[in-house]
Amino acid sequence: MYKQFLSAFEKAILSSKREIKDIELIAVSKKKTIKDIQTVIDQGHISFGENQTQEIESKWPLLKSNQPDLKLNFIGSIQSRKVESIYEHCEVIHSLDRIKIVKIFDKLEKSKKIVREYFIQINTGNEAQKSGVTMKEADEFISQCLREYRLKIIGLMCIPPVDDDPKKHFLNLKALADNFNLQKLSMGMSNDYDVAIACGATHIRVGTQIFGARN
């Protein structure tokens, strides 16, 4: 499945007149076994995404011990008691959305001297059940993060509402990122990655089309 998706992914990039090297494909491996993940690693892929610390702790130390250049992205909602584990295991965190969480990561970086990369998650649809900073609060939140903390914030992330046109959400995210000169956009999943690429995505998070349906 991976090679088949890679072909479609590259076609979507070329049809949007983008460069393949400018877009990182994150293989979302939640609920997948070490064996499933290793199959994709063996085909040359190194960037993966998870959203549960229990899964990260049970799978990734072994996978990384066999291949140290693997990159793990945390793409789920962040609980304060899980921050240290996320920081220890993940090179990139896509879901900063509360100052309380930002402060804990900032403190960890100061004490452990390991720099991670961060995205701020924006709730572009202002959905009550979804994580992320609301559009109304986004300017102030981003400003405060950049002004008061030393985290390496590289961009913004969003997950559009399932029943809405994703394009307007992706374009709103891009406009917000441009206002703060943030270069990276984590947006687009299995069902809308082509739209996200056309709207300027730099990081695409795809699970089903790479690994198949989850149990």
| Extents of the domains making up the chain | 2-211
- The tokens for 163 are 């029943």
Q: Partners of 157 in the beta sheet?
A: 121, 186
CA 145 from chain center: how many Å? Answer: 18
CA separation (Å) from 61 to 28, 57, 78, 101? 17, 7, 20, 24
Structural fold of domain 2-211: TIM Barrel (3.20.20)
* pLDDT, tens digit, 9 for 90 and up, residues 68-114: 999 999 999 999 999 999 999 999 999 999 999 999 999 999 999 99
State the pTM of this model: 0.95
* pLDDT, tens digit, 9 for 90 and up, residues 132-173: 999 999 999 999 999 999 999 999 999 999 989 999 999 999
